[in-house]
Amino acid sequence: MTGFGVLRGMGITLRQFIGTYRFGKWFLKLIGLDEGSGITTVAYPEVKQKHAENFRYFPFLVYDESPEDMRCVACKICEQECPPQCIHITMEKDEKGAPTKKFGRTYPAQFDIDVSICMSCRICVDVCPFDAIEMDNDYEVADYGRGPEMNFNRDKLLKSAEYFGKIKPTEHAEVEARLEPKRAKAKAAAAAAAAKAAEAAKPAEDKPADEDPSDAGSDKGDAS
Amino acid sequence: MIDQAFVNLNSTLLGALPEVLRPWAAGLVKIGVIAGLAPLIMMYLTWFERKVIARMQNRLGPDRVGIYGLKQPLADGLKMLMKEDIVPEGADKLMHTLAPLVALIPALLLFLVLPFGRNMAPLDLNIGVLYTLAVGSIGSYAVFMGGWASRSKFPVMGAMRTVAQIVSYEIPGALAVITVIMVTGTMSLVSIVEAQSQWWFVLTPWGFIGAIIFFLSGVAEVNRTPFDMPEAESELVGGFHTEYSGMKFALWYMAEFLESFAVCALTVTLFLGGWQGPAIPFWVLAAVLVIIMAMAKRLPIVAKVMGIGALVALSVVSFGEAIPSWLWFFTKTYSLMFVMVWFRGTFPRLRVDQLMGFAWKFLLPLTLVNIVIAGIWVAMPSVVGVLLDVVIALVSLVVLVKLNQPASLEKRTYTFAE
């Protein structure tokens, strides 16, 4: 009948209104009506909305055990691939210009990301062959300036792999699975190197004469 | 005792003064109370509206400034005061400044005759109803002044719409009040409230129709949704106040909110029994309020303790007394304000022709029928009269709805297409 649509509409708004209160919700349930959507917004600084695991915001650098032991080797692939060109990397070198190594790897002396330019596209993460850079989900990076305040340096960007595992468990598991064989290999290589070094440290009179020809022979045999 | 607390306070204070000063002081007190109360009412109406509309839209509404956002109106007022006051180039400066004042003063004057409680009408004019209708319609001049003086297209269009709308809706509004005057035989608002001590007029057939028509025309007269054509923000930027900024803009809003409050208060006075209410003991209300306060999550402990203490003390002091009359008045008025906000939360804006058609083709004939119904009510105070009233009301309603049905075109058949 004419006019009843108006009343029905008013009923809907009233139901939504009542449903935003605790008592109202209880009352609506009591009389068997739909409870409405309740409050759908959150009082932001006090309450934070839960975001999906894949939510991403600005990259960060991953280290394994200590901040010294970073995965990044300063290969500059991400710097070149970055569409808005917000990454700037300098490799650590000694006076002669040769890269210095720590934990058997080269490492960046300077690694800057200007987060006011970064568009959170994740391309740096995709191109990194060492899984050294990953996407963060910390969105509270506001500051009072857009010069040095927004230019995050290496120490600010470094976060542990543990943290990564906490914010993105699924992706962390994938990365770990990918890194595991490499790590095993590196470990084996390190062990071999250590063994070699240990052997090299042994009395060096007879060893070189014994081993070198046999090694070369076996290599050749494998290749042919 | 709480019922007459303010009246007694007033007379005690006046009694302390010398004889010569008393009439002057009495006037000044009334002016002071209205001038102080009105901005307060307006400020908290904005808060109320924002909160309620937010809840209807599943939001929380203002809650940053103060507990439950209670300091928000103060922050808004301060912001408005500090804003730049811009007068457009080529605008009529005097008119542009004068218009918000011309809008505000009648809105304040409306408060002069409202009976806020038992013995609490600032002035008992014997032509109170006529006075409110006359003063209430001055607002349309102000709106047109403001719109015209801005020398801008949107304000002029908004202002023209306002004048057309207010003139149209005043007629059903005034004719709806006529029924009350017919039945009570008085134009004094105080006497009208006293005449409702048995039955509120809204419970009679003519009063029911009259109350709805009066309230709807009132909503239209103060330009609130769904009748907010004058400021239709999606069409006219801001309507008549497009070119206003700073405190002048705030004055427009103040006038609008005070007028809406006055419309609600008038509806309450004329049809909903004014300050009359069922004799519920005050301590029942106090108990309910105490429970609500105790359950409130965000209220600080100090406020809780003080509020509960005050309520308990009040109910002990006034044990056995009914809920005070002024509380009834404000509760009813704010409930009607809630209905206004509820309208705003529910309905989209009407089209101009729908708006005019509603006033002239539906409300006006219905008010005329309503006058007949009220006449029968007075002439035949019996069951037969009541039944006749109900029958006339229903029949006229059905007929009017049928007549107002938009023309539906016949379904076209395409002979050659088949």
Q: What is the pLDDT of residues B167-208, one digit of tens each?
A: 888 889 889 899 888 888 888 888 888 888 888 888 888 888
SS3 call for A86: coil
| pLDDT (0 to 100) of residue B232 | 67
DSSP, res A58: S
Beta-bridged to residue A110, according to DSSP, are: A90
> And the tokens for B232?
């239709």
Beta strands (DSSP E) in B2-64 are: none
| pLDDT (0 to 100) of residue A205 | 52
Distance CA B390, CA B397 (A): 10
Please indicate if any CB of chain A lies within 8 Å of the CB of B67.
Answer: no
Distance CA B418, CA B405 (A): 32
SS3 call for A151: strand
Nearest CA in chain A to B340: A10
Distance CA B103, CA B139 (A): 5
Minimal CA separation from A143 to chain B, in Å:
21
Q: Do A41 and B59 touch (CB under 8 A)?
A: yes
Which among A54, A57, A53, A68 has a CA at the least distance from the CA of A158? A68
SS3 call for A93: strand
Residues B59-97: tens digit of each pLDDT: 888 888 878 888 888 888 888 888 888 888 888 888 888
Q: What is the 3-state secondary structure (H, E, C) of B223-236?
A: CCCCCCHHHCHHHH
Decide the pairing of beta strands A87-91 and A158-160.
unpaired
| pLDDT (0 to 100) of residue A49 | 83
> And the tokens for B375?
């006449």
Contacting residues of A for B401, CB less than 8 Å apart = 2-3
Residues A14-51: tens digit of each pLDDT: 888 888 888 888 888 888 888 778 788 888 888 888 88
Minimal CA separation from A181 to chain B, in Å:
52
Contacting residues of B for A14, CB less than 8 Å apart = 56, 342
Distance CA B230, CA B147 (A): 10
Contacting residues of B for A17, CB less than 8 Å apart = 52, 55-56, 342, 345
Residue type, A90: T
Interface test with A, best of B56, B213, B219 (most A CBs within 10 A): B56
Residues B111-131: tens digit of each pLDDT: 888 888 888 778 888 888 899
Locate tokens 């209880």: which residue? A26
> Options 3.90.340.10, 3.40.50.720, 3.40.50.10860, 3.30.70.3270; which CATH number does A59-176 get?
3.30.70.3270
Select from A6, A20, A23 the Cβ nearest to the Cβ of B58: A20
Residues 309-368 of B with CB under 8 A from A: 342-343, 345-347
| pLDDT (0 to 100) of residue A206 | 52
Nearest CA in chain B to A40: B58
Query: How many residue pairs bridge chain A and chain B with CB atoms within 8 Å of each other?
Result: 42
| Residue A218 reports pLDDT greater than 60 | no
Tell me the CA distances in angstroms from B57 to A5, A11, A138, B218, B233, one per residue in order. Answer: 19, 13, 29, 25, 19
The answer to which of A150-159, A190-199, B349-358, B401-410 has the lowest mean pLDDT is B401-410
Distance CA B166, CA B359 (A): 10
Q: B118 and B275 in contact (C-beta within 8 Å)? A: yes
Residues B88-114: tens digit of each pLDDT: 888 888 888 888 888 888 888 888 888
Percent of chain B at pLDDT exceeding 70:
98
Residues B232-249: tens digit of each pLDDT: 667 777 777 888 888 888
Q: Do A20 and B63 touch (CB under 8 A)?
A: no
SS3 call for A106: strand
| pLDDT (0 to 100) of residue A204 | 54
Nearest CA in chain B to A35: B58
Burial B215-244 (b: 16+ CB within 10 A, else e): bbbbbbbbbbbbbbbbbbeeebbbbbbbbb
Q: What is the mean pLDDT of residues B313-333?
A: 82
Torsions phi, psi for B11 (to 5 deg): -70, -35
Q: What is the mean pLDDT of residues A55-83?
A: 87
Select from B56, B60, B342 the Cβ nearest to the Cβ of A41: B60
Q: What is the mean pLDDT of residues A143-149?
A: 84
Residues 184-203 of B with CB under 8 A from A: none
Distance CA A101, CA A182 (A): 19
Q: Do A17 and B345 touch (CB under 8 A)?
A: yes
Output the furthest CA–CA distance in chain A (Å, rounded): 110
| Residue B388 reports pLDDT greater than 70 | yes
Select from B59, B295, B346 the Cβ nearest to the Cβ of A13: B346
| Residue B265 reports pLDDT greater than 50 | yes
Q: A70 and A61 in contact (C-beta within 8 Å)? A: yes
- Whether pTM > 0.95 for this model: the answer is no
Please indicate if any CB of chain B lies within 8 Å of the CB of A10.
Answer: yes
Minimal CA separation from A71 to chain B, in Å:
44
Q: Do B57 and A16 touch (CB under 8 A)?
A: yes
Nearest CA in chain B to A38: B58
Nearest CA in chain A to B401: A2
Model confidence at B356, in pLDDT bands (50, 70, 90)?
Answer: confident
Residues B137-159: tens digit of each pLDDT: 888 888 888 888 888 888 888 88
Nearest CA in chain B to A14: B56
Please indicate if any CB of chain B lies within 8 Å of the CB of A36.
Answer: yes
Distance CA B387, CA B366 (A): 18
Model confidence at B344, in pLDDT bands (50, 70, 90)?
Answer: confident
Please indicate if any CB of chain B lies within 8 Å of the CB of A2.
Answer: yes
| Residue A216 reports pLDDT greater than 70 | no
Q: Do A17 and B56 touch (CB under 8 A)?
A: yes
Higher pLDDT, A121 or B316: A121
Locate tokens 């208060």: which residue? B265
Higher pLDDT, B19 or A223: B19
Overall residue count recorded for chain B in this entry: 418
Locate tokens 């919700």: which residue? A25
Burial of B208 (0-12, 13-18, 19+ CB in 10 A): middle
Domain ranges of chain A: 8-40, 59-176
Please indicate if any CB of chain B lies within 8 Å of the CB of A49.
Answer: no
Q: B175 and B367 in contact (C-beta within 8 Å)? A: yes
Domain ranges of chain B: 5-280+322-353, 282-317
Model confidence at B418, in pLDDT bands (50, 70, 90)?
Answer: low
Which among B385, B333, B378 has a CA at the least distance from the CA of B181? B378
Nearest CA in chain A to B398: A2
Nearest CA in chain B to A21: B55
Q: B369 and B399 in contact (C-beta within 8 Å)? A: no
Select from B58, B343, B401 the Cβ nearest to the Cβ of A37: B58
Residue type, B400: L
Contacting residues of B for A21, CB less than 8 Å apart = 55
Q: B314 and B5 in contact (C-beta within 8 Å)? A: no
Q: How many CB atoms lie within 10 A of CB A198?
A: 9
Q: What string of DSSP letters covers B106-155?
A: HHHHGGGS---STT--S---TTHHHHHHHHHTTHHHHHHHHHHHTT-HHH
Residues B363-380: tens digit of each pLDDT: 899 999 999 988 888 888
SS3 call for B356: helix
Model confidence at A215, in pLDDT bands (50, 70, 90)?
Answer: very low
| Residue A210 reports pLDDT greater than 80 | no
Contacting residues of B for A11, CB less than 8 Å apart = none
CA dihedral A87, A92, A97, A103 (to 10 degrees): -130
Percent of chain B at pLDDT exceeding 90:
3
Q: What is the mean pLDDT of residues B157-164?
A: 84
Model confidence at B214, in pLDDT bands (50, 70, 90)?
Answer: very high
| pLDDT (0 to 100) of residue B305 | 84
Distance CA A201, CA A125 (A): 42
Please indicate if any CB of chain B lies within 8 Å of the CB of A3.
Answer: yes
Burial of B133 (0-12, 13-18, 19+ CB in 10 A): middle
Contacting residues of B for A20, CB less than 8 Å apart = 55, 58
Percent of chain A at pLDDT exceeding 90:
1
Distance CA B355, CA B290 (A): 45
Select from A6, A17, A38 the Cβ nearest to the Cβ of B52: A17
Select from A10, A13, A43 the Cβ nearest to the Cβ of B60: A43
Model confidence at A192, in pLDDT bands (50, 70, 90)?
Answer: confident
